[in-house]
Structure 1
Amino acid sequence: METPNTIRTFWFGTQPSDQAVIKECSHRWWSKNEAVDREIRQRFEPVMLLAKENALKHWAGEPQGLLALILLTDQFPRNAYRDTPQAFSFDPLARAWCKEGLQRGDHLRLRPIERVFFYLPLEHSESLADQEQSVALYEELIAGIDESQRAEFEGFLWFAKRHHEIIQRFGRFPHRNPVLGRESTPEEIAFLKEKGSSF
């Protein structure tokens, strides 16, 4: 049975330095890699489904457990069910756990690199209010990081701002339209031809 610790170790590794974690794990986080998608699907789908059924809600009582639940319902489905509607079907639960943890201040008890993923449900949201909160949280995160490490984290803020801009402009992420069966507007179709319009 997977635990919050095994999930965290899979995603972040064991390096004590956040800079080292970013260097070691970024390829797994952000690259489209069928081998990684398959590994997540085969290893973690059972526990992802338990999380979706709220069978692991007892994990939410402490920050590391809450982070594991967020990974299981926000990031892992995007790998396991890539290019299908199911990739986004866990999102409401991920947002609810994120907001629960923010209210309690649980995110402040995590490492900076862990906080990056704690906030992602807001960055993935198609709500403008969530997007505004996301940008504010990443700005706060970077402001509290030692200057020697800020360069590695500035990219996370840039992407948060980019997501915010798209939601502010369209009210949704146009690149999700084909997967979710939504009809794109002419403006969205033109936008999707631009470089960097998809994530």
Structure 2
Amino acid sequence: MLIRIIAPLRVLRPYTRPHRFQQHARAMSSFNLNKEIFNPGLYKQIRDIWFKDTPIGATEIDMSVAKQWFMASAEEKADFDGICRHNFARALEAVGPDQFPNPSAEPFLREIEQAVQNNPTDGGAEAACTALSIVLLLDQITRNIYRNQEGLVKVYNHYDIICFSLMSRLLSTDTPLVRPDLHSQWRKSPIFRLWFYLPLIHNEDLNMLEKAIEIEEELEKELDGEEDFENAKMFVQEGLKSTREHRDILRKFGRYPHRNISLGRESTEEEKKFLTEGGATFGVAQTEEK
């Protein structure tokens, strides 16, 4: 059942046209994205498949979409993984470790900047949508396509590095881009906004994970005074619960034990005990299967 979904959004931060990235004193990657693959059509397709018919800015969600993300059966996961693989494997391979051996955020930052330049009158909406699509591709769709141990090595050692670097830059003050997660089109829509923070959680960096918690807590406070946002509030609460669980594990072990097999790391006795006693693996199989 699809419950009431649209609520007015306030523009809490005015958009200003950024300076070109070339004007900023920082090293630029020589790697260029293949425009036959990476273009507005791809980015729209990512959002269409990920969110189905959920309107931008929605504060309520069709349960079939939430199930696709979090509660799918093994068969349903396999079906959705197949859709992701069919539509997006080529894009991921084009920026995979073989083609892009020195991963950085720069090509993707340029892509977002290009969206600003191509849409000078839309208040940054297309650039924010482009950023969201890139985050979904690198942080989420990788996990649908590369589920086995061999694939997860690429996720942890390559795609996560790119996406963490990208979001670190987009959330910092050292960028001319307005933060895409705070764009007015989804400022109060955790259904869209929370995906920006998962790259911070997926990196084994406690400081950035604490930052994710801080941002999510701010979002929770923003929604506290809103009426008819119950599903949105619940979505944030569940997100915070998961983020804090990741934080507690990282505080205890300094890393995520469920990644040890994929990364060839020797588990400590404490980590082995944690895993055998049902410690969180966040859906990652604890087998040697390649």
Fold shared by both chains (TM-score > 0.5): yes
User: 1:40 maps to which residue?
Assistant: 84
User: 2:117 maps to which residue?
Assistant: none
With CA pairs under 8 Å and 6+ residues apart, which has the higher RCO, 1 or 2?
2
User: 2:272 maps to which residue?
Assistant: 189
User: 2:50 maps to which residue?
Assistant: 11
- Residue 162 in 1 paired to residue 245 in 2? yes
Q: CA deviation at 1:19?
A: 1.7
- Residue 102 in 1 paired to residue 165 in 2? no
User: 1:116 maps to which residue?
Assistant: 194
Q: CA deviation at 1:15?
A: 2.2
Distance in 1 between residues matched to 2:95 and 2:61, nearest whole Å: 29
User: 1:68 maps to which residue?
Assistant: 133
Q: CA deviation at 1:193?
A: 1.9
When residues 142 and 79 of structure 1 are mapped into structure 2, their CA distance, relative to the original with a 3 A threshold, is same
User: 2:210 maps to which residue?
Assistant: 132
The answer for unaligned runs of 5 or more in structure 1 is none
Once the two structures are superposed, residues 6-36 of structure 1 have per-residue CA deviations (whole angstroms, 9 ceiling, x without a partner) of 1111111222333225x23222222451222
3-state SS, counterpart of residue 171 of structure 2: helix
- Aligned-residue RMSD, C-alpha: 2.0
Aligned residues of 2:138 and 2:159 also touching (Cα < 8 A): yes
Higher-Rg structure is 2
Q: CA deviation at 1:196?
A: 4.6
TM-score (norm: length of structure 2): 0.63
Distance in 1 between residues matched to 2:206 and 2:107, nearest whole Å: 30
Q: CA deviation at 1:57?
A: 4.8
Once the two structures are superposed, residues 70-106 of structure 1 have per-residue CA deviations (whole angstroms, 9 ceiling, x without a partner) of 1111111111001321232300110111122223322
Once the two structures are superposed, residues 119-169 of structure 1 have per-residue CA deviations (whole angstroms, 9 ceiling, x without a partner) of 100011101111111111111122212353312321001000000111111
Distance in 1 between residues matched to 2:155 and 2:267, nearest whole Å: 19
Q: What is the one-letter code of the residue matched to 1:133? A: K
Q: What is the one-letter code of the residue matched to 1:34? A: A
When residues 138 and 36 of structure 1 are mapped into structure 2, their CA distance, relative to the original with a 3 A threshold, is same
Q: What is the one-letter code of the residue matched to 2:204? A: E
Aligned residues of 1:51 and 1:72 also touching (Cα < 8 A): no
Single out whichever of 106-115 and 24-33 deviates more from structure 2.
Answer: 24-33
3-state SS, counterpart of residue 61 of structure 2: helix
Distance in 1 between residues matched to 2:203 and 2:261, nearest whole Å: 17
- Aligned with residue 65 of structure 2, among 10, 25, 43: 25
When residues 152 and 56 of structure 1 are mapped into structure 2, their CA distance, relative to the original with a 3 A threshold, is closer
Aligned residues of 2:61 and 2:191 also touching (Cα < 8 A): no
Identical residues among aligned pairs (%): 30
Aligned residues of 2:139 and 2:199 also touching (Cα < 8 A): yes
The answer for unaligned runs of 5 or more in structure 2 is 1-36, 101-105, 114-126, 173-177, 283-290
Aligned residues of 1:63 and 1:101 also touching (Cα < 8 A): no
Give the helix-richer structure, 1 or 2. Answer: 1
